[in-house]
Amino acid sequence: MTRTIIIVGGSFAGIKAAWDLRHLLDDKHRILIISDKPRTTFRASFPRVLFENLDLEKITMDLAENFKDTGIEFICDPMTGIDQENDEVACKGQRYHFDYLILATGARHAYEILPGSREFAYSMCDPARILESREALLNFKSGEFFAGVGAGYTPCDGPPMEILMDLDHHLREAGIRDKTRLHYISDKECLLPPGGPAALKFGDTWMTFSQNVRSSSTLKSSSCGSTRRRYTSRTAKLCRMICACWCHPTAASRRCKTPA
What are the pLDDT digits (tens) for 8-66? 999 989 999 999 999 999 999 999 999 999 999 888 888 889 888 888 889 999 999 99
pLDDT band at 5 (very low <50, low <70, confident <90, very high): very high
Superfamily for the 3-105 domain: FAD/NAD(P)-binding domain (3.50.50.60)
Q: Where are the domains of the chain?
A: 3-105, 109-247
One fold for 3-105 and 109-247: yes
pLDDT band at 230 (very low <50, low <70, confident <90, very high): very low
pLDDT band at 212 (very low <50, low <70, confident <90, very high): very low
Rounded mean pLDDT, 208-221: 36
Single out the residue of 31, 33, 27, 30 nearest to residue 13, CA to CA.
Answer: 33
pLDDT band at 149 (very low <50, low <70, confident <90, very high): low
Chain centroid to Cα 197, Å, comes to 27
User: What is the predicted pLDDT for the residue at 218?
Assistant: 26
Contact between 27 and 71 under an 8 Å Cβ cutoff? The reply is yes
Contact between 52 and 137 under an 8 Å Cβ cutoff? The reply is no
User: What is the predicted pLDDT for the residue at 36?
Assistant: 94
> What is the radius of gyration, based on Cα positions, of the chain?
21
Strands (E), the chain: 3-8, 29-35, 39-41, 60-62, 72-76, 79-83, 88-91, 95-97, 100-103, 107-109, 121-123, 143-148, 180-186, 207-211, 240-243, 247-249
Parallel, antiparallel or unpaired: strands 107-109 and 29-35: unpaired
Q: Which residue has the higher pLDDT, 51 or 107?
A: 51
Specify the pTM.
0.69
- Which of 11-15, 191-195, 238-242 is least confident? 238-242
Pick the most confident of 12-21, 166-175, 188-197.
Answer: 12-21
pLDDT value at 211 more than 60: no
In this structure, the number of other CB atoms found within 10 A of the CB of residue 258 comes to 11
Superfamily for the 109-247 domain: FAD/NAD(P)-binding domain (3.50.50.60)
Q: Which residue has the higher pLDDT, 210 or 206?
A: 206
